[in-house]
A and B are shown apart, each in its own frame.
Chain A
């Protein structure tokens, strides 16, 4: 992979970082209503895996979805305004920051840990049976690997040889519970062996590595070699939600140590070493910030959904009518 590639991966990560920071500010102003799950520090996973996918590929995300969504190509406008509960959001402002769907971009997320994994098998089944050549990527965290849904999904995907890439975004903490204490094995990727799958682990802070692994596995899945489970080791630099009592479960020293190896810092250092000028990187950063500032100004002007719209799409109409929810 040449520096040009790293530069584009870096700018993709930069967009996610600045987007996350914008969300944080909006949360502080109470313009994002639900608990906000910051993404800072995990950008190399989203860019490496989600950024590789085409519009037709399926992405199933988690309760910390905005980085995945933007990296997949869901317009930032519809992600941001969904988080702000506005009508222009991809779920019409009815889903909020943890559960929304952009059908046109084949993006789905939800706030029940682990429950997207069984659903991924269904997308995989349809892709395989209809010979669509697409891939379904299902992201989940270290916490989800402790659910029953994880096991049921991986077993079914493996026995039916489904075109699904399960990506464990191990950010070391399930809410306040450290993976090293609450996951019974050292590597979640080792659990893949229980389903007859290879054990694949990648440095989730190295965007070139995540992209390389993603590209390899996605290509193999398109050739019919799926499913795969890959574990990307990363770190959640902020709390589970904004304002969580972080001191109850980790030290500032630990967080600071991980800040030294966070993905944007690593990529930037590598780019500088390769001769890219700091000025160019800073100019690109400013351009992203300007773009997001404009986005925010637009977003706060958007309308909220009405009471009528909140019951609009509960059901598809029956042929004889009779499904009124008002």
Chain B
């Protein structure tokens, strides 16, 4: 299989879906001329023209609103919010309308929208360009929340998101765009709501999301050298959550660590932890442990922003504690 970057995998997904269905279109700030901040739509304006690739003003409410209206008319918008931190401006439309219209129309209106954005720390952008805000959306009935971690997954999940008829909040991680991985040349989809076991193991289950999956895998490798076997699960979709894969794993290992870049309080990490406690309580050898960001705004610069979020070292330590 060819090895490509995460950003290129996104570009391939866009191309394939736009070729397959002319109702699919991409809009957002600088998705056309620039080809997006991380070049994931490079060349698409030239190839598909402005009907399918639309640069917009810096108007996140209008981007989200335009997505809702056009989707109600049968188009399939991919509405890009350049940084998830800017999504606050689009929240009204997303939460009060996109998430509600299918129900308010008695099932008549469908809104096949991908609200595509990127979040997280790692590029030294401080507290208004580095947040992990996925938890907000998990708590809104009517939305699907996707957080891919590999080039293979991002391509397959994005294609599935475009083809599904619900509004999806599709959150990439800014530290992942230049990560490389194998991506099949033949067409494939990764289904929404299905987790992936990124590494099989027997002693501890590590549930990690987005960028944290990469740290979890590195930590698992180090722990393997010391004789500890970790199973790393990437839920890929925060909601709907693939509880079966998680429960099956923890039933086997009896220990579970949940790793997210978002702060723990009131977050999805608590949801994942509760799922394990509710379904695996009798088989748990230790209470579930969460490893999340410190409860602070992301500090500026290269050093502190790495220290306040989980990393390979802190995951190794947390797993060792679970084994005590």
Would B72 and A316 count as touching, CB distance under 8 A?
A: no
Within the complex, which residue of B65, B107, B141 is in contact with A325, where a contact is CB–CB below 8 Å?
B141
Complex CA gap A320/B189 in Å reads 12
Within the complex, which residue of B104, B165, B193 is in contact with A320, where a contact is CB–CB below 8 Å?
B193
Would B191 and A120 count as touching, CB distance under 8 A?
A: no
- Is A122 an interface residue when CB atoms closer than 8 A count as contact? yes
Would B97 and A121 count as touching, CB distance under 8 A?
A: no
Interface residues of A in 101-131 (CB under 8 A from B): 101-104, 108, 110, 112, 115, 117-127, 129-130
Complex CA gap A118/B97 in Å reads 11
Within the complex, which residue of A101, A122, A129, A130 is in contact with B65, where a contact is CB–CB below 8 Å?
A122
Complex CA gap A147/B56 in Å reads 19
Interface residues of B in 104-145 (CB under 8 A from A): 104-110, 141-142, 144
Q: With A101-B109, A130-B73, A156-B57 as given contacts, are A313 and B103 in contact (CB-CB < 8 Å)?
A: yes
Number of interface residues of B (CB under 8 A): 48
Inter-chain contacts of B64 with A (CB < 8 A): 118
- Is A178 an interface residue when CB atoms closer than 8 A count as contact? no
Pick out which of these stretches binds chain B: A9-17, A86-94, A272-280.
Answer: A86-94
Inter-chain contacts of A125 with B (CB < 8 A): 66, 69-70, 75
Within the complex, which residue of A100, A108, A318 is in contact with B193, where a contact is CB–CB below 8 Å?
A318
Would A322 and B193 count as touching, CB distance under 8 A?
A: yes
| Distance (whole angstroms) from the CB of A306 to the closest CB of chain B | 14
- Is B284 an interface residue when CB atoms closer than 8 A count as contact? no
Q: With A155-B62, A320-B194 as given contacts, are A122 and B68 in contact (CB-CB < 8 Å)?
A: yes
Would B56 and A156 count as touching, CB distance under 8 A?
A: yes
Q: With A103-B105, A119-B65, A320-B193 as given contacts, are A315 and B59 in contact (CB-CB < 8 Å)?
A: no
Complex CA gap A118/B59 in Å reads 9
Complex CA gap A68/B191 in Å reads 42
| Distance (whole angstroms) from the CB of A321 to the closest CB of chain B | 9
What is the chain A residue whose CB lies nearest that of B68?
A119
What is the chain B residue whose CB lies nearest that of A102?
B105
Interface residues of B in 260-308 (CB under 8 A from A): none
Would B73 and A152 count as touching, CB distance under 8 A?
A: no
Would B191 and A155 count as touching, CB distance under 8 A?
A: no
Would B106 and A91 count as touching, CB distance under 8 A?
A: yes
Complex CA gap A108/B74 in Å reads 16
Number of interface residues of A (CB under 8 A): 47
Q: With A115-B96, A155-B59, A323-B193 as given contacts, are A122 and B102 in contact (CB-CB < 8 Å)?
A: no
Complex CA gap A117/B65 in Å reads 8
Inter-chain contacts of A75 with B (CB < 8 A): none
Inter-chain contacts of B101 with A (CB < 8 A): 101, 108
Most chain B Cβ neighbours within 10 Å, of A115, A119, A153, A312: A119
Inter-chain contacts of A121 with B (CB < 8 A): 62, 65-66, 69
Within the complex, which residue of A94, A152, A323 is in contact with B62, where a contact is CB–CB below 8 Å?
A152
| Distance (whole angstroms) from the CB of B91 to the closest CB of chain A | 10
Would A110 and B105 count as touching, CB distance under 8 A?
A: no
| Distance (whole angstroms) from the CB of A229 to the closest CB of chain B | 15
Would A313 and B107 count as touching, CB distance under 8 A?
A: yes
Inter-chain contacts of B71 with A (CB < 8 A): 122
| Distance (whole angstroms) from the CB of B238 to the closest CB of chain A | 13
Complex CA gap A102/B74 in Å reads 16
Within the complex, which residue of B69, B92, B142, B194 is in contact with A149, where a contact is CB–CB below 8 Å?
B92
Most chain B Cβ neighbours within 10 Å, of A122, A156, A312: A122
Within the complex, which residue of A91, A118, A313 is in contact with B66, where a contact is CB–CB below 8 Å?
A118
Would B110 and A156 count as touching, CB distance under 8 A?
A: no
Q: With A103-B109, A118-B64, A152-B62 as given contacts, are A314 and B69 in contact (CB-CB < 8 Å)?
A: no
What is the chain B residue whose CB lies nearest that of A157?
B62
- Is A224 an interface residue when CB atoms closer than 8 A count as contact? no
Would B73 and A118 count as touching, CB distance under 8 A?
A: no
Would A94 and B103 count as touching, CB distance under 8 A?
A: yes
In the complex, per-residue mask of B164-177: 1 if CB is within 8 Å of any chain A CB, else 0:
11100000000000
Inter-chain contacts of A149 with B (CB < 8 A): 61-62, 65, 92
| Distance (whole angstroms) from the CB of B92 to the closest CB of chain A | 5
Complex CA gap A156/B67 in Å reads 13
Would B192 and A318 count as touching, CB distance under 8 A?
A: yes
Interface residues of A in 285-316 (CB under 8 A from B): 312-316
What is the chain B residue whose CB lies nearest that of A132?
B73
- Is A4 an interface residue when CB atoms closer than 8 A count as contact? no
Would A316 and B73 count as touching, CB distance under 8 A?
A: no
| Distance (whole angstroms) from the CB of A163 to the closest CB of chain B | 12
Complex CA gap A320/B107 in Å reads 19
Inter-chain contacts of A314 with B (CB < 8 A): 102-103, 141-142
Would A100 and B62 count as touching, CB distance under 8 A?
A: no
Would A103 and B108 count as touching, CB distance under 8 A?
A: yes
Inter-chain contacts of A119 with B (CB < 8 A): 65-66, 68-69, 93, 97
What is the chain A residue whose CB lies nearest that of B142?
A314
Would B69 and A122 count as touching, CB distance under 8 A?
A: yes
Inter-chain contacts of A318 with B (CB < 8 A): 164, 166, 191-193, 240
In the complex, per-residue mask of B70-99: 1 if CB is within 8 Å of any chain A CB, else 0:
111111010000000000010011001100
Inter-chain contacts of B74 with A (CB < 8 A): 126, 130
- Is A319 an interface residue when CB atoms closer than 8 A count as contact? yes
Q: With A94-B104, A318-B193 as given contacts, are A126 and B61 in contact (CB-CB < 8 Å)?
A: no
- Is A99 an interface residue when CB atoms closer than 8 A count as contact? yes
| Distance (whole angstroms) from the CB of A155 to the closest CB of chain B | 6
- Is A95 an interface residue when CB atoms closer than 8 A count as contact? yes
Q: Given A121-B62, A125-B75, 9 more contacts at CB 8 Å?
A: A101-B105, A101-B109, A104-B108, A115-B96, A120-B65, A123-B69, A130-B73, A152-B59, A313-B105
Per CB-CB distance, the 8 closest pairs between chain A and chain B, nearest first, are A122-B69, A118-B65, A126-B73, A103-B108, A313-B107, A152-B62, A152-B59, A122-B70
Q: Which residues of B contact A (CB under 8 A)?
A: 51, 56-57, 59-62, 64-75, 77, 89, 92-93, 96-97, 100-110, 141-142, 144, 164-166, 191-194, 240, 242
